[in-house]
Structure 1
Amino acid sequence: MWGLRLQHLCGFLHYLYRITKTGSGLSKNIHLISCNFFCFPLNLLGKPLLSGVSIFQEEIFFVTGKGGVGKSSVAAAIAHKIAKTSNDVKLVDLDQYFRNMFEQDKQIDFSVEEWTGMKCLSEYVDHLVKLRGLGKLFFDNPVMSKLLNIAPGLFELAILGKLSSKQREHGPPLSYDKLILDSYATGHSLSMLKAPFVMAESITRGPMHVQSQGIISVLQSEAFQPVVVVTPELMAVEESIELATEIERLLGKKSLFVINRIYKEFADLPDLENPWEKFLYQKKNELDKVRELLEAKSYQYLESPLVTNAETSLDLLEKMGAQWKIS
Structure 2
Amino acid sequence: MTSDWPRVQLHVVTGKGGTGKSTVAAALALGLASHGNNVLLCEVEGRQGVARMFDVDPLPYAETRIATGLRWSEDGGHHPPGSVYALHIDAEQALLEYLRMYYKLGPAGRALDRFGVVEFATTVAPGVRDVLLTGKVFEAVQRNSRNRGARQYDAVVLDAPPTGRITSFLNVSESVAGLAKVGPIKHQADTMMTLFRSPRTAVHLVTLLEEMPVQETADGIAELHAARLPVGGVIINQVRPRDLPDDALEAARTGRLDAATVADDLKRAGIEGGNGFVDTLLEEAKEYAERRALEDRQREALAHLAVPTYELERLAAGVDMGGLYELAADLKEQGLA
- TM band (smaller chain): 0.7 to 0.9
Q: Distance in 1 between matches of 2:320 and 2:110?
A: 34
- Listed as ranges, the matches of 1:83-102 within 5 Å are 83-94=33-44, 95-102=47-54
Indicate the residue corresponding to 1:323 in structure 2.
330
- Listed as ranges, the matches of 1:1-327 within 5 Å are 54-57=3-6, 58-94=8-44, 95-103=47-55, 107=68, 109-130=83-104, 132=106, 134-165=108-139, 166-167=141-142, 169=144, 172=147, 173=150, 175-200=152-177, 202-267=179-244, 268=246, 269-270=248-249, 271=252, 272=255, 274-309=282-317, 313-324=320-331, 325=333, 326=335
**Alpha-carbon spacing, 1:171–1:184, altered in 2? closer, same or farther (3 Å):** farther
C-alpha deviations, 1:192-244, integer Å up to 9, x for none? 12332232465332322222111111110011110111011133201221012
CA contact (8 A) 1:60 1:224 kept: yes
Q: Which amino acid is the alignment partner of residue 134 of structure 2?
A: L
CA contact (8 A) 1:233 1:286 kept: yes
**Per the alignment, in what secondary structure is the counterpart of residue 176 of structure 1?**
coil
Q: Distance in 2 between matches of 1:135 and 1:218?
A: 28
Q: Distance in 2 between matches of 1:188 and 1:140?
A: 31
Taking only aligned residues, the RMSD between alpha carbons, in angstroms, comes to: 2.6
Q: Which stretch of the first structure deviates more once superposed, 172-181 or 271-280?
A: 271-280
Q: Distance in 1 between matches of 2:112 and 2:219?
A: 40
Q: Which amino acid is the alignment partner of residue 291 of structure 1?
A: R
Q: Distance in 2 between matches of 1:145 and 1:175?
A: 30
TM-score under structure 1 length normalisation:
0.75
Structure number with the bigger relative contact order (C-alpha 8 A, sep ≥ 6) is: 1
**Per the alignment, in what secondary structure is the counterpart of residue 51 of structure 2?**
coil
CA contact (8 A) 2:54 2:321 kept: yes
CA contact (8 A) 2:171 2:193 kept: no
TM-score under structure 2 length normalisation:
0.73
Q: Distance in 1 between matches of 2:36 and 2:174?
A: 32
Q: Which amino acid is the alignment partner of residue 290 of structure 2?
A: Q
Instruction: Give unmatched runs, 5+ long, in structure 1.
Output: 1-51
**Alpha-carbon spacing, 1:121–1:86, altered in 2? closer, same or farther (3 Å):** farther
Q: Which amino acid is the alignment partner of residue 96 of structure 1?
A: Q
CA contact (8 A) 2:207 2:236 kept: yes
C-alpha deviations, 1:60-93, integer Å up to 9, x for none? 1111111111110010011111111352111112
Q: Distance in 1 between matches of 2:136 and 2:315?
A: 34
Structure 1 residue runs of 4 or more that deviate by more than 6 Å after TM superposition: none
**Alpha-carbon spacing, 1:174–1:183, altered in 2? closer, same or farther (3 Å):** farther
Find the structure with the greater CA-based Rg: 2
Q: Which amino acid is the alignment partner of residue 242 of structure 1?
A: D
Shift of 1:111: 1.3
Q: Distance in 1 between matches of 2:233 and 2:123?
A: 33
Shift of 1:170: 7.7
Q: Distance in 2 between matches of 1:320 and 1:276?
A: 29
Shift of 1:315: 1.1
Q: Distance in 1 between matches of 2:204 and 2:28?
A: 10
**Alpha-carbon spacing, 1:256–1:171, altered in 2? closer, same or farther (3 Å):** farther
Q: Which stretch of the first structure deviates more once superposed, 150-159 or 263-272?
A: 263-272
Shift of 1:174: 5.8
**Alpha-carbon spacing, 1:276–1:79, altered in 2? closer, same or farther (3 Å):** farther
**Alpha-carbon spacing, 1:294–1:85, altered in 2? closer, same or farther (3 Å):** farther
* Overall identity of the aligned pairs, in %: 24
Shift of 1:171: 5.5
Q: Distance in 1 between matches of 2:27 and 2:203?
A: 15
Q: Which amino acid is the alignment partner of residue 99 of structure 1?
A: A
**Per the alignment, in what secondary structure is the counterpart of residue 322 of structure 1?**
helix
Instruction: Give unmatched runs, 5+ long, in structure 2.
Output: 57-65, 70-82, 256-278
